[in-house]
């Protein structure tokens, strides 16, 4: 399976492609960022990101697109741009009939490190280790996109479809994953 991970952002949108290998391993295919200029109007910025995502999808031919689920932040303008770019990525995949999966930051951290509360640097270090890279991909958005792709590859079978699955039958990382997914589905009060 080939997964394109998308870490949405208006200035830098992380893009990372990984292939699954036997034995719960992953191989780096491509990594980079789609960029837009802060000097452009929002419509031009979104178009620039959309065109780059389209190019990545057409070139890399992923089986699925994994996008970071946008969560509420204090800075409304930041979360709006992030949500708009996430929508662009989902639309680009849908136009090509490629399935889309959304993963929260906690789910990604749990899948890659075993802890849903891992620090960003720990996630990036694990991404490099998992993919056998000599150094952490830069910028951070690129490493985050790879983490999303790995997260999707490694998600526990039936994690979303079978919430009644016995906790005793899960590994520690799978229990952490399930807890992160459960927390993500709880309604927020605000």
Catalytic (active site) residue 7: yes
Catalytic (active site) residue 107: no
Token pair, residue 190, equals 């605000």
Q: Which residue has the tokens 């057409």?
A: 58
Question: Which of 68, 107, 144, 181 is the catalytic position?
Answer: 68
Question: Which of 107, 141, 144, 181 is the catalytic position?
Answer: 141
Q: Is 41 annotated as a binding residue?
A: no
Q: Is 40 annotated as a binding residue?
A: no
**Helix 42-60 and helix 76-95, axial crossing angle in degrees, nearest 10:** 40
Is residue 143 within 8 A of residue 18, CB to CB? The reply is no
Q: Is 7 annotated as a binding residue?
A: yes
Q: Which residue has the tokens 């951290």?
A: 109
> What are the residues facing 14 on neighbouring strands?
7, 33
Catalytic (active site) residue 39: no
Binding-site annotation, residues for Mg(2+) = 7, 68, 141
Binding-site annotation, residues = 7, 68, 141
Give the residue numbers marked as catalytic: 7, 68, 141
């Amino acid at each position: 399976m080939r997964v394109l991970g998308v870490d949405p952002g208006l200035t830098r949108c992380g893009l990372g492609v990984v292939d699954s290998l036997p034995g719960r391993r992953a191989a780096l295919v491509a990594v980079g960022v789609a960029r837009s200029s802060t000097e452009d109007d929002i419509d031009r910025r979104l178009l620039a990101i959309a065109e780059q995502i389209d190019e990545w999808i057409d070139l890399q031919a992923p089986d699925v697109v994994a996008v970071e689920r946008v969560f509420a932040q204090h800075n409304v303008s930041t979360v709006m741009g992030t949500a708009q770019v996430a929508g662009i990525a989902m639309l680009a995949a849908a136009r090509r009939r490629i399935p889309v999966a959304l993963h929260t930051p906690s789910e990604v951290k749990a899948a890659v490190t075993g802890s849903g509360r891992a620090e960003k640097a720990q996630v990036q270090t694990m991404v490099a280790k998992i993919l056998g890279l000599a150094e952490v991909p830069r910028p951070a958005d690129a490493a985050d996109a790879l983490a999303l792709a790995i997260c999707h590859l490694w998600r526990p079978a039936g994690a979303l479809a079978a919430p009644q699955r016995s906790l005793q039958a899960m590994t520690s990382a799978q229990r952490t994953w399930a807890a992160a997914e459960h927390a993500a589905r709880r309604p927020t009060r605000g």
